[in-house]
């Protein structure tokens, strides 16, 4: 279909808002036992070793949303985190790996709304986007007008990505059209900022509900679908990831638009990041292995990856305090 010449190439390729299609939701199923069996095989049979492992870990760094979402966040902490996002691996480790001249940064820095101006200023000129959690994060239970206003405020402050949370009650009661309507309003409020829809999968009750919520979010124009806020008792898991990735694949097959994926919460080890990257490659293909379409929501993950890279460079593991976040 020919695109309007006034629309940018980025906007033309961006997943648009679509009308709610109840038939697309009602026929969805999830074979939980088969999904869990498939997920259980992934850590053992997808092993990456040697120089290839170092290269994959470097790629994983570029897909991390380096995150601080604590009640005691301060401007100083956010600035230190942004400095780490600019230089995520120590210069001596990069030099030892023969990558001293290779520019590498994290995919984004994710903060609460109040810290958006601080992060934007700290990252100026780096090309690293600021992501803001919004819409009453993490519960999503504040009045709808306030949630929409919060999005507007974060975009105005310079956030290039908005991590919104869905109303879990709409999923649990099967009110899919209301969920779609709410998410469409969030997407419109985001404007040019990309919307990452947090499904809070640990609170949705079943893998079928995860699949249904994924499809509704993508129909409503989500640029990314994301597992968790990181505040639930169960966050990112491989079975949930498998369901969400296959929903993304189905959406691409049906519409031609690519939607990104962000597992968040509980991913803290370098070896886990390799499993997720392997899963992405198997289910969606090489195209999704980029920061435009895949992110880890994490904070401690970067420290463990840097520690593994130092092991590749020096042949020994170092103490965790040698790889601070800020």
Handedness of CA 87, 89, 92, 94 (dihedral sign): negative
Is position 49 annotated as part of the catalytic site? no
d(CA 106, CA 86) in angstroms, rounded, equals 7
Segments of the chain with pLDDT less than 50: 1-7
d(CA 31, CA 27) in angstroms, rounded, equals 13
Task: Please count the other Cβ atoms lying within 10 Å of the Cβ belonging to residue 52.
Answer: 10
What pLDDT is stored for residue 3 in this prediction?
A: 38
What pLDDT is stored for residue 101 in this prediction?
A: 85
Q: What is the pLDDT of residues 105-163, one digit of tens each?
A: 999 999 999 999 999 999 999 999 999 999 999 999 999 999 999 999 999 999 999 99
d(CA 206, CA 202) in angstroms, rounded, equals 9
Q: What is the pLDDT of residues 87-111, one digit of tens each?
A: 999 999 999 998 888 889 999 999 9
- Sketch the domain layout of the chain as residue ranges: 49-316
Is position 304 annotated as part of the catalytic site? no
Catalytic-role residue among 65, 84, 223, 226:
226
What pLDDT is stored for residue 323 in this prediction?
A: 66
Residue 51: CB partners within 8 Å, gap ≥ 6? Answer: 312
Structure tokens at 24: 């697309």
What pLDDT is stored for residue 2 in this prediction?
A: 36
Contact 227, 201 (CB under 8 A): yes
d(CA 249, CA 80) in angstroms, rounded, equals 37
Structure tokens at 8: 């940018």
The vertex-63 CA angle with 283 and 9, nearest 5°, equals 80
Query: For 271, how many CA atoms within 13 A lie in the half-sphere containing its CB?
Result: 7
Contact 162, 193 (CB under 8 A): yes
What pLDDT is stored for residue 50 in this prediction?
A: 72
Catalytic-role residue among 65, 84, 223, 262:
262
d(CA 251, CA 186) in angstroms, rounded, equals 20
What pLDDT is stored for residue 11 in this prediction?
A: 61
Q: Dihedral (C-alpha) 229, 235, 236, 238: value to the nearest 10 degrees?
A: -160
Helix (H) or strand (E) holding 164: strand 161-165
What pLDDT is stored for residue 49 in this prediction?
A: 72
Contact 193, 160 (CB under 8 A): yes
Catalytic-role residue among 65, 84, 163, 196:
163
Is position 163 annotated as part of the catalytic site? yes
What pLDDT is stored for residue 326 in this prediction?
A: 58
- CA-to-CA separations, 50 to 61, 94, 308, in angstroms, rounded: 17, 16, 11
Residues 49-316, CATH architecture: Alpha-Beta Barrel (3.20)
């Amino acid at each position: 279909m020919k695109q309007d010449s006034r629309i940018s190439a980025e906007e033309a390729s961006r997943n648009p808002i679509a009308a709610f299609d109840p038939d697309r939701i009602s026929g969805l199923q999830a074979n939980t036992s088969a999904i869990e069996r498939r997920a259980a095989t992934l850590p053992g049979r997808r092993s990456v070793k040697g120089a290839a492992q170092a290269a994959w870990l470097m790629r994983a760094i570029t897909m991390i949303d380096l995150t601080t979402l604590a009640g005691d966040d301060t401007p100083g902490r956010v600035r230190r985190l942004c400095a780490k996002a600019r230089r995520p691996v120590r210069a001596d480790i990069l030099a030892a790996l023969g990558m001293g001249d290779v520019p590498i940064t994290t995919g984004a820095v994710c903060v609460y709304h109040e810290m958006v101006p601080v992060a934007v200023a700290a990252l100026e000129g780096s090309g690293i986007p600021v992501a803001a959690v919004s819409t009453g994060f993490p519960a999503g239970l504040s009045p709808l007008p306030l949630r929409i206003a919060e999005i507007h405020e974060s975009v105005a402050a310079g956030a290039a990505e908005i991590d919104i949370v869905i109303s879990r009650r709409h999923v649990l009661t099967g009110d899919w059209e209301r969920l779609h309507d709410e998410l469409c309003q969030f997407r419109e409020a985001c404007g040019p900022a990309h919307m990452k829809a947090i499904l809070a999968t640990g609170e949705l009750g079943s893998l079928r509900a995860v699949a249904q919520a994924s499809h509704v979010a993508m129909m409503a124009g989500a640029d990314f679908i994301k597992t968790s806020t990181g505040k639930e008792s169960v966050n990112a898991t491989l079975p949930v990831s498998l369901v969400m990735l296959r929903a993304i694949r189905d959406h691409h097959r049906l519409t031609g638009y690519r939607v990104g994926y962000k597992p968040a919460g509980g991913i803290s080890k370098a070896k886990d990041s390799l499993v997720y990257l392997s899963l992405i490659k198997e289910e969606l293909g090489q195209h999704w292995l980029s920061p435009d379409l895949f992110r880890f929501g994490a904070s401690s993950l970067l420290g463990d990856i840097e520690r593994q890279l130092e092991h590749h460079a020096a042949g020994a593991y170092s103490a965790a305090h040698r790889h601070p976040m800020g």
